[in-house]
A and B are shown apart, each in its own frame.
Chain A
């Protein structure tokens, strides 16, 4: 049984697909005694059982490794998406604030022309 889970994939978000686990499944239906009254048959059966148990343990380890890795990849994707969302939000907010500040300044400037004109008009009235 292969104890290695699977070859390391690239960034899972880049592929749109994800590798299946590369773990050899132990076949329980092959572990059958040929006879119960024969010592060598029982010995052979016991050997099959031990091998099955080793294979099952290796399979379990392999699948757990696969599942842990897959869960880590999900978390990586989630963290990356959150970081990207934050970056987009921060950049957009900074850009919008810069432009909104210019708009506020433009409104202030326009009002100052109005105020200057009022002052000049007041002078003329005196």
Chain B
């Protein structure tokens, strides 16, 4: 009579289309959608109204209760699947954001380092050129002194 409501299937998706998102778009954390999963209502499974009459067991009430339990279990399984899908998708989106940020940061570093190297090479060359003028002057002065 007391059918136990199984707890195993808890989370699932009544609506399987969680939300629309274009494939290339970076997930928008600020406007991230809520899960669209319909919660099963355990309190709607009322206690079965049974009694033992002259004929014994009230099969009608038990059958009605059992079908409410079955319906609940089905909804709970759908809710379970839906919430797991939502959480998996959300974790995937976090990873997408993290990977994109890492790629962007690498690109920023590489570009900046390449640009800075170009300028630093020019600075080195400018310093060498400046020093070469002083060296040339020293050489010419030495030549004059030797005459």
Q: Closest approach, in angstroms, between the C-beta of B97 and any C-beta of chain A?
A: 5
B91-A89 in contact (CB<8A): no
Majority SS at the chain B contact face: helix
A17-B43 in contact (CB<8A): no
User: Interface residues of B, CB < 8 Å — how many?
Assistant: 59
Contact with A along B47-61 (1 / 0, CB 8 A): 100000000000000
Closest to A73 in B: B119
Contacts of B70 in A (CB 8 A): none
B87-A26 in contact (CB<8A): no
Closest to A80 in B: B112
Known contacts A13-B115, A92-B98, A120-B43; is-contact A99 B32 (Cβ 8 Å): yes
Contact with B along A88-104 (1 / 0, CB 8 A): 11011011111110110
Closest to B104 in A: A88
Known contacts A28-B137, A89-B101, A96-B98; is-contact A117 B42 (Cβ 8 Å): yes
A98-B29 in contact (CB<8A): yes
User: Interface residues of A, CB < 8 Å — how many?
Assistant: 61
A70-B97 in contact (CB<8A): no
Known contacts A88-B104, A95-B27, A121-B5; is-contact A66 B90 (Cβ 8 Å): no
Find B87's partner among A25, A73, A106 (CB 8 Å cutoff): A106
A123-B47 in contact (CB<8A): yes
Whole-angstrom CA separation of A32 from B147 in the bound complex: 12
B133-A28 in contact (CB<8A): yes
B42-A99 in contact (CB<8A): no
Closest to A116 in B: B42
B136-A103 in contact (CB<8A): no
A residues sitting closer than 8 Å to B (CB atoms) are 12-13, 16-21, 25-29, 31-33, 52, 56, 59-60, 63, 66-67, 70-71, 73-74, 77-78, 80-81, 84-85, 88-89, 91-92, 94-100, 102-103, 106-107, 109-110, 113-114, 116-121, 123-125
B residues sitting closer than 8 Å to A (CB atoms) are 2, 4-5, 7, 10-11, 26-30, 32, 34-35, 39-40, 42-43, 45, 47, 76, 79-80, 83, 86-87, 90-91, 93-94, 97-98, 100-101, 104-105, 108-109, 111-112, 114-116, 118-120, 122-123, 125-127, 129-130, 133, 136-137, 139-140, 144
Q: What are 13 inter-chain pairs, A to B, with CB distance below 8 A?
A: A12-B118, A13-B115, A21-B122, A28-B137, A29-B136, A67-B127, A77-B112, A89-B105, A95-B26, A98-B30, A99-B32, A113-B40, A117-B7
